[in-house]
């Protein structure tokens, strides 16, 4: 329930015309807790937001393309605004830029803002740490034709979670990750652990891009209340293991 005495969260939306960005725009526009004050895409570059007066609370939400992340980070630094980056295929130097920015403002890096996917990630990590030497993991992911990155950001996060869980205890060797691009599939991820007499499978299927948009808005509402730092969706959901501080955002 929205408190009418509370000001709306002012959103600068980067990638507003994209597949997920457009759904964030639509849902935020119909929600009194949010006010989309600027929409940035190829036709309306980042300097379009420079003329805006800073309004508190304010957040930059970027679901565009990895090539725009540095400009979004610069805008966040300039405006001293929290930033949520849902863009995938980030290179190490992008993550370094965001980590440096996190010293000054709250930064949330979320390759997947689906709540179910975040829970899957945590379960997979626990399973990987519990299974014995004879179980070997593999990941398969399906997305729409034309998706720029392969494997997906979520598949890479799942792989890191498995590797982190097993680090120091065992070596799985090169982990098999298969990417399928077909039709208009929103997103599916299958994690298998194959043993000599049994197989364990975990699967997550996204049926609509609205689930990513709703997760992003939930994360945005959480992030504007945080101190400077680097966060992931597991922080939004309160699932962070204190012993895993400093792990990759998810």
Tokens of residue 73, six digits = 């980070």
Catalytic position from the list 48, 55, 147, 248: 147
pLDDT on residue 167: 76
3-state SS, residue 75:
helix
223, 37 contact by CB (below 8 A): no
231 three-state secondary structure? strand
Task: Output the pLDDT for position 2.
Answer: 61
Determine whether 227 is an active site residue: no
Which CATH code is given to the segment(s) 9-109+210-244? 3.40.50.720
**Ranges of each domain in the chain:** 9-109+210-244, 115-206
Spot the catalytic one: 94, 143, 189, 204.
143
Parallel, antiparallel, or unpaired: how do β-strands 136-143 and 176-181 relate?
parallel
State the CATH architecture for 115-206. 2-Layer Sandwich (3.30)
* Cα–Cα distance, 62 to 40 (Å, whole number): 9
Confirm whether 204 is a catalytic residue: no
Give me the average pLDDT of each 10-residue run along the chain (250 residues): 81 95 97 96 80 90 95 96 93 96 97 93 92 89 91 90 80 83 95 95 95 97 98 93 54
Global confidence as pTM:
0.85
């Amino acid at each position: 329930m929205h408190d009418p005495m509370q000001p709306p969260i002012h959103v600068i939306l980067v990638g507003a015309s994209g597949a997920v960005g457009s759904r964030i725009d639509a849902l935020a526009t119909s929600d009194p807790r949010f006010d989309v004050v600027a929409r940035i895409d190829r036709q309306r570059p980042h300097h379009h937001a420079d003329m805006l007066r800073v309004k508190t609370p304010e957040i930059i939400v970027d679901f565009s393309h990895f090539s725009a992340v540095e400009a979004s980070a610069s805008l966040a630094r300039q405006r001293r605004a929290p930033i949520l980056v849902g863009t995938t295929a980030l290179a190490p130097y992008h993550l370094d830029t965001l980590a440096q920015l996190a010293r000054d403002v709250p930064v949330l890096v979320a390759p997947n803002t689906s709540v179910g996917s975040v829970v899957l990630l945590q379960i997979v990590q626990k399973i990987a740490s519990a299974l014995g030497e004879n179980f070997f993991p593999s990941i398969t992911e399906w997305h729409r034709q034309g998706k720029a990155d392969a494997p997906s950001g979520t598949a890479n996060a799942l792989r890191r979670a498995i590797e982190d869980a097993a680090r120091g205890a065992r070596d799985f060797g090169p982990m098999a990750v298969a990417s399928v691009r077909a039709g208009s599939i929103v997103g599916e991820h299958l994690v298998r652990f194959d043993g000599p007499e049994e197989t364990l499978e975990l699967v997550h299927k996204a049926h609509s891009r609205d689930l990513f948009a709703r997760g992003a808005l939930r994360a945005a509402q959480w992030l504007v209340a945080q101190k400077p730092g680097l966060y992931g969706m597991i922080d939004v959901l309160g699932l962070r293991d204190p012993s895993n501080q400093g792990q990759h955002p998810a």
